[in-house]
Structure 1
């Protein structure tokens, strides 16, 4: 492969992402690295909850399916795989990758597992006075409900794993762009204080991390922003030079498109301040980024920058925060909206009589006001009644029993509500909420474990 340019592709943008585009990248992308970014804010807390019930669980549910799909081609082409699919149990995820390799007749596969993001024990011992970023609470206030505490590791934590001969590198919680920045630092030898290049590397990672969002997914709007062949939407790859400048593209013949418009939307996605994008390795600066169309499905990216990193790392806390009880029921035909509204009013009054008025609640007619709300101009200006509606009641309550009662009241509309109700459903789920604190990076210790068919 060309050592002056690194080719790095995005095999997933979230835990449930599609697998065929990743197979296409592994087969035809001529990649040095294939990255699967699969963790969201609450994903790891849910994984920790799963691990508490099953010690061998807690990693991404699609890990083995993805490895079966891409590992043979990646080994054949010399493409290294890097992923945070380890979630709450990176070590067990590493063993799962080895099991897939053995199943596929690839006994020489090595896996490097990066550990150290789980800081729950350290925080509970030393950090109880830390303020929660989203509220006036402290960590001590949340401690009785805490499930998990995972620090956002940076590329620096991944470099020892990259310096091994591992074919697959598995991590837990890592800042999304760091999964892409680390291979660039390793390949080109960028220094940990080369802020400009690190900022450019974070830019590349940010553009790639959501996979299909930069090739037309979450972008398409028929008649305004048309995207070709979305059924075969391809995932992106970047051709990155030693300077950190890059071209974003995709496999020739794959669906979707890579344009200045798709790249601009992704550039601004989830960015609060483009001039100060706080990351573990660098404070990235996207304010002077330039995008230009360099050919069909090829966009040149220049102008990224960076500034010295902070002394703290963000830690995501997962904690139990009550239950949600939900019920839905449909009405159709003449007067459907009026009957649906009557159903909502009845449930609201009955729950108030039972002492539920104080709880956070939603009473929606799906298709009428469930997204924009009852005061939205479009809802008020509707020229004709819908032919069908679905009434939905949702309350957030402190106990499972209260949530079950909410769902039951909606189902009871069958015989205790308006005419013609049908298709009632009920659900109850525990709320796993997320919050964040800042932790001194000096308090976090990371390590790398190298696994192969013979064990450690």
Structure 2
């Protein structure tokens, strides 16, 4: 029976690159998938594209592709490696152009296709209501993006066109992994049980190192070896959807029933009804069995008919956050930091700074005097942050913290301040017949 090998090269935009290269070189893979989008990530990418029409794709796209493209394609005596990624973010077409440029620079011949259709801003209406209760019309010019969660369709089309590299925008995370299973095994789009099994594989792999020991370790309770060389996971899958989760031999980390269970329930509201654009997956009877070291068999997933609507992630501008920090160390550090906090909050009120939300907190740290030996910490850091409608108000938050140098308690140091625009994210549902994925060369 044919066994398909799919590896996970990233779990988010800024993830490590070396484990993906290790998978490409040593994993004997059929597919390497880079899952790099979050709701806020694509909103920020849309904002970047406004400033640069050729931009808006993942900032690490070029570096990742430069490292793994030499392994892509057909190699004598080895499997054909293909890459699927949502690093196209807000601009899959420009991302594909960049990958082709890198391939030419490396002297490689790769067929690169982009999947588009997730940008549905033009399909929305002002009266539609977001999950936070606001209407789209109320956002006015603050509205910057609306991206539907595509399923497998566009990716399948690209694989049928014999693409070596498939670059998408917003696609549901597990769909990136489900598509190659459907393509290689010929699964029907209405075989809900098989699609549920394939979606389980995708969900386990989508966060990369989380299922192989990252974000799992807790010294003395859940020990994981060699996290500095954490190996990203791969799945061995057969035509019936049976799967084993493992990693490259000799890499750091851990694959166990416990790591798989934690990833199984990650971001799952109802294990019996995990909604994706492709299937309503049921994980409620999933079991994990340790077959050998770092090899876990996953089974028990099923599925039923897919939802009639797809989720749309809407990004919009929602004010500014101003922040200031300052540290106090030595005897009486806590009392001085508390006084500093009181001063800043009173100053913000006295000077009439308009704030929608404010937080003023003391952060205990080890940076100033090493490990503390007394009940009262030897160091503490004051952080004051506020969300404001106007940038000018947000600027004043950090300024007031900084003035503690000469207008506050003794011994403050290491002050910092920053202002950043808030890109907020909300969701709504859209009938699936108003979302159409397609490929572009």
Instruction: Name the TM-score, length of structure 2 as normaliser.
Output: 0.96
Structure 2 partner of 1:36: 34
CA RMSD of aligned residues (A): 1.3
Give, in angstroms, the shift of residue 357 of structure 1.
6.8
Please give the alpha-carbon distance, in whole angstroms, between the structure 1 residues aligned to 2:266 and 2:286: 14
Structure 2 partner of 1:454: none
Q: Please say if residues 33 and 83 of structure 2, whose CA atoms lie closer than 8 Å, have aligned partners that are also in contact.
A: yes
Which of residues 169, 172, 180 is equivalent to 1:172?
A: 169
* 1:59-108 per-position Cα deviation (integer Å, ceiling 9, x unaligned): 000001001111102234520000000000100000010111011111x2
Structure 2 partner of 1:372: none
Structure 1 partner of 2:113: 112
Give, in angstroms, the shift of residue 137 of structure 1.
1.8
Please give the alpha-carbon distance, in whole angstroms, between the structure 2 residues aligned to 1:180 and 1:130: 32
The range that moved more, 150-159 or 416-425, is 150-159
1:162 counterpart SS class: helix
Which of residues 197, 200, 204 is equivalent to 1:200?
A: 197
Structure 2 partner of 1:92: 94
Give, in angstroms, the shift of residue 158 of structure 1.
1.7
Q: Please say if residues 285 and 300 of structure 2, whose CA atoms lie closer than 8 Å, have aligned partners that are also in contact.
A: yes
The range that moved more, 76-85 or 250-259, is 76-85
Please give the alpha-carbon distance, in whole angstroms, between the structure 2 residues aligned to 1:359 and 1:114: 40
Which of residues 116, 135, 145 is equivalent to 1:138?
A: 135
Structure 1 partner of 2:370: none
1:34 counterpart SS class: strand
Aligned residues: 430
Please give the alpha-carbon distance, in whole angstroms, between the structure 1 residues aligned to 2:309 and 2:138: 21
* 1:178-200 per-position Cα deviation (integer Å, ceiling 9, x unaligned): 00000011111111111111111
Give, in angstroms, the shift of residue 352 of structure 1.
1.2
2:39 counterpart SS class: coil
Q: Which runs of 4+ in 1 moved over 3 A?
A: none
Correspondence 1:439 to 2:430: yes
Give, in angstroms, the shift of residue 156 of structure 1.
2.1
1:16 counterpart SS class: coil
Give the alignment of 1:296-307 within 5 angstroms: 296-307=293-304
* 1:248-273 per-position Cα deviation (integer Å, ceiling 9, x unaligned): 00011111110001001000111111
Q: Please say if residues 9 and 33 of structure 1, whose CA atoms lie closer than 8 Å, have aligned partners that are also in contact.
A: yes
Give the alignment of 1:360-399 within 5 angstroms: 360-367=357-364, 384-399=375-390
Correspondence 1:232 to 2:229: yes
Structure 2 partner of 1:27: 25
Which of residues 393, 409, 415 is equivalent to 2:400?
A: 409
Correspondence 1:129 to 2:127: yes
* 1:4-63 per-position Cα deviation (integer Å, ceiling 9, x unaligned): 111000000000000000000000101000000000110001001111011111000000
Gaps of 5+ in 1: 369-381, 451-456
Give, in angstroms, the shift of residue 157 of structure 1.
2.7
Structure 2 partner of 1:295: 292
Gaps of 5+ in 2: 366-372
Please give the alpha-carbon distance, in whole angstroms, between the structure 1 residues aligned to 2:355 and 2:378: 33
Please give the alpha-carbon distance, in whole angstroms, between the structure 2 residues aligned to 1:46 and 1:352: 32
